[in-house]
Structure 1
Amino acid sequence: MHLVKMQRGTFEAFSDERLGWACMEPVFMLIRGKRPEIKAEVIGQLSRAQKALCMFRVFYDHGHKSEAEYYTWLSHMLDMPGYWDGVQEALSFFGDSEMMQLLQDTKDMLELRNNRLGRRWSEAAFKDLEQDTGLAGEITVYYDRIQSVSVKSLAAIAAYIRAYPEQFVELTA
């Protein structure tokens, strides 16, 4: 279990969005740019709560900045073994059924498109949104939803971390 050392005042001052990231930053430093088996090994050493937070942050941090990033990262997660299930388990752990449904709705829409066009998840690219206005319009609708739903997700996760800090941090004076 990787506990982050953090001063109590710093912990209490973090916004909902920053708190989860701060609790996972050391883990991200261990896995960023590493091979999938190293990532799996590090994530496998986390507690259930830490793994849930990690998987949510992997999804959120990669997919919330733009429609193109949301589309390509979601497709990437579906292409990489364990990522989609890990994010779904994370959302279930935090009781985030609204985000789970939103991601499932997006996945269903993209699966239909991929099946219709004979495409694989690994073929998703930023340019798809420029070349397919129908896809761009649909992704924009889901992306707009994720912007509002993620605020609730971040608040719920931060509330969990604040209720159970010992699962994530070692607080110092």
Structure 2
Amino acid sequence: MSMVHLNRHVFNSLDEMSLGTTCFEPLIQAFKEVRMRGGDERTFYTGLSEGQQQLFIFRVYYDHVHHSPEELFWWSAYFLAQPLRWLALKSSFRVHGDDEAAGLLEEIESFLTASGYSQSLEIFDVSRSDMAENLELLNSFNDYYDRLQKHTEVIHQRLAQYIRSHPDEFVNLE
């Protein structure tokens, strides 16, 4: 299990975002090593604790989509094309977000599915430039993006609360 080493004072003094980032870093580094070696990503993920899984899937998604509506569109379609990832993401939003946060992902899923974007990776042909060519897509993802900003703040806070309540899943305290 990938964990960060921190002294108790630093652990207690980190704000929510910094705590999540600090605990996410060893996870994403371990994941990148697995990927570079051609290892089994699913085995990596299932080897994480439940809390680490929730943090990992949320942060992988968030770290890509928070940049722009175009990134939200592309990465949402990419995750949706991988049903297990999408389900894990929805679980993280449900557990650490609120009903509105989980509902937002459901809306995104419904919109993408109705628009023909719920493809598998084998036939994944989504481009960020699709938004420039489709006004409904542009308007929808601008709205989703604005709403996501509000919900992700709550998720960051709740993930940090979870980490503080279950430090043994994330941190080797010194």
Taking structure 1 as the reference length, what is the TM-score of the superposition?
A: 0.87
Between the aligned residues of both structures, percent identity stands at: 28
Distance in 2 between residues matched to 1:59 and 1:138, nearest whole Å: 19
Amino acid of the structure 2 residue aligned with 1:43 = Y
1:49 to 48, 51, 54: 51
Amino acid of the structure 2 residue aligned with 1:111 = T
Match of 1:120 in 2: 119
Aligned counterparts, 1:1-173, within 5 A: 1-32=1-32, 34=35, 38-94=40-96, 96-114=98-116, 120=119, 122-172=124-174
The answer to whether the 8 Å contact 2:58/2:89 transfers is yes
Distance in 1 between residues matched to 2:42 and 2:144, nearest whole Å: 29
Unmatched tracts of structure 1, length 5 or more: none
Distance in 2 between residues matched to 1:168 and 1:109, nearest whole Å: 35
Q: CA RMSD in A?
A: 2.1
Count of residues paired in the alignment: 169
The answer to whether the 8 Å contact 1:31/1:39 transfers is yes
CA distances 1:82-109 after superposition (whole Å, capped 9, x unpaired)? 1101112223333643221111111111
CA distances 1:133-172 after superposition (whole Å, capped 9, x unpaired)? 2211110001000001111111111111112212211111
Report which stretch shifted further, 21-30 or 1-10.
1-10
SS of residue matched to 1:120: coil
Which runs of 4 or more aligned residues in structure 1 lie more than 4 Å from their structure 2 counterparts after TM superposition? Answer: none
The answer to whether the 8 Å contact 1:62/1:69 transfers is yes
Report which stretch shifted further, 25-34 or 157-166.
25-34
Distance in 2 between residues matched to 1:18 and 1:38, nearest whole Å: 29
Taking structure 2 as the reference length, what is the TM-score of the superposition?
A: 0.87
Unmatched tracts of structure 2, length 5 or more: none
